[in-house]
């Protein structure tokens, strides 16, 4: 039942975690088919030259072995020399096949390295888990795939040998080198046909493997929610942190607004409210900022630093703090009290200007 609940495609995070564990969609059959195809092509391209070089090397080694004095040192030296030369002849085939196998793996999964599959896992030796794997859909698929592979390759082998039967019967009439060359051509043809047959099966296997991998990686809606919670934290905690960040930004903005205020009305210690009023531009004073506790203390300190007038009026400060909103005009019922403060402030400012002009 739990399998049917997994209606969601795997998230990029789950696929990334699976990749770190070495769990990817990979078909070993495709790697083997590409390697076999490369070997067949190499046999077509270099088979005759390599075989002739090996035959000449064997003849030279035989002549040298018969002509040199017999001793353990001479035999070891001859075997080492012949082995090194033979390795140089065979090396291009081995390198080509190895590179093709590596390229096939990289093409399927990209560059990946994980030591996770090498770690001991007791679940792998669990008899119950072993029985479950034994009768699983994957086991049935692998068995059917093996039967199809053997049947297809056997059919290709039979049809190819049947077509080459006439050519095989006349090999005895050829010279040794001609017979070898013709035999290599037959082997290359057989290998190429079997490689294409194996490649066809491997491509089908790759398609099934990717489909099965996506199915196993599917997630339920609960899995997706749990992943988000584990990666980003509980939504309630995130909401609380977001509220704290907003509060910190608001406090910082409150302190910055003091420079634009005309007056700071305080409690005098617990509450501070910054007001601005521009005659001719504003219908009523606007609350630029408000704060309590430490924020109020910072606002008072900033006002003292900038020379903003501070008015101590506990009742008015509390009323403005609890009834007013930042960036909005003051509440209507507080107009009279604030107006008295503004009249006093304007009169004080005008008096200062008059004194300054007289001097």
pLDDT at 1: 43
* Domains by residue range for the chain, with CATH: 12-230 (no CATH), 255-358 (3.40.1690.10)
Kindly state the average pLDDT of the residues 218-240: 74
Distance between CA 334 and CA 336 in Å, rounded? 6
pLDDT at 72: 81
**DSSP for residue 11:** P
Assess whether pLDDT exceeds 70 at residue 106: yes
Give the pTM: 0.53
- DSSP per position, 122-168: GGGG-HHHHHHHHTSHHHHHHHHHHHHHHHHHHHHHHHHHHHHHHHH
Q: Are 37 and 192 in contact (CB under 8 A)?
A: yes
Assess whether pLDDT exceeds 50 at residue 261: yes
Query: Which of 5-19, 125-139, 256-270 is predicted with the least confidence, judged by mean pLDDT?
Result: 125-139
For residue range 143-166, what is the model confidence (pLDDT) as tens digits?
888 888 888 888 888 887 777 776
pLDDT at 100: 92
For residue range 7-23, what is the model confidence (pLDDT) as tens digits?
778 888 888 888 887 77
Query: What does pLDDT average to over the chain?
Result: 80
217, burial (CB in 10 Å: exposed 0-12, middle 13-18, buried 19+): middle
pLDDT at 49: 81
For residue range 305-341, what is the model confidence (pLDDT) as tens digits?
888 889 999 999 999 999 988 888 999 889 899 888 8
């Amino acid at each position: 039942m739990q399998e049917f609940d997994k209606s969601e495609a795997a998230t990029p995070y789950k696929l990334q975690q699976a990749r770190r564990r070495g769990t990817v969609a990979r078909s070993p059959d495709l790697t083997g088919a590409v390697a076999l195809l490369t070997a067949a092509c190499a046999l077509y391209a270099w088979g005759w030259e390599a075989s002739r070089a090996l035959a000449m090397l064997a003849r030279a080694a035989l002549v040298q072995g018969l002509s040199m004095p017999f001793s353990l040192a001479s035999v070891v030296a001859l075997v080492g020399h012949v082995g090194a030369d033979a390795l140089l002849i065979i090396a291009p085939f081995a390198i080509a096949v190895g590179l093709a196998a590596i390229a096939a793996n990289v093409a399927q999964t990209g560059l990946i390295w994980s030591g996770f599959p090498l770690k001991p896992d007791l679940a792998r030796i669990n008899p119950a888990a072993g029985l479950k794997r034994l009768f699983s859909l994957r086991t049935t698929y692998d068995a059917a795939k093996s039967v199809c592979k053997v049947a297809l390759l056997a059919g290709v082998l039979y049809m190819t040998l049947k077509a080459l039967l006439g050519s095989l019967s006349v090999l005895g009439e050829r010279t040794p080198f001609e017979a070898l060359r013709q035999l290599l051509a037959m082997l290359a043809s057989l290998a190429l046909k079997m490689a294409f047959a194996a490649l066809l099966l491997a491509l089908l296997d790759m398609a099934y493997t990717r489909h099965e991998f996506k199915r196993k990686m599917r997630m339920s809606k609960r899995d997706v929610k749990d992943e988000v919670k584990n990666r980003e934290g509980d939504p309630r905690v995130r909401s609380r942190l977001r509220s704290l960040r907003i509060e910190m930004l608001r406090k910082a903005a409150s302190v910055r607004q003091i420079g634009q205020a005309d007056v700071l009305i305080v409690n005098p210690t617990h509450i501070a409210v910054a007001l601005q009023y521009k005659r001719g531009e504003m219908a009523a004073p606007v609350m630029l900022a408000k704060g309590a506790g430490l924020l109020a203390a910072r606002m008072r300190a900033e006002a003292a630093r900038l020379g903003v007038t501070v008015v101590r009026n506990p009742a008015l400060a509390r009323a403005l703090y609890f009834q007013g909103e930042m960036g909005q005009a003051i509440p209507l019922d507080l107009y009279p009290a604030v107006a008295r403060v503004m009249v006093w402030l304007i009169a004080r400012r005008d008096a200062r200007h008059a004194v300054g002009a007289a001097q």
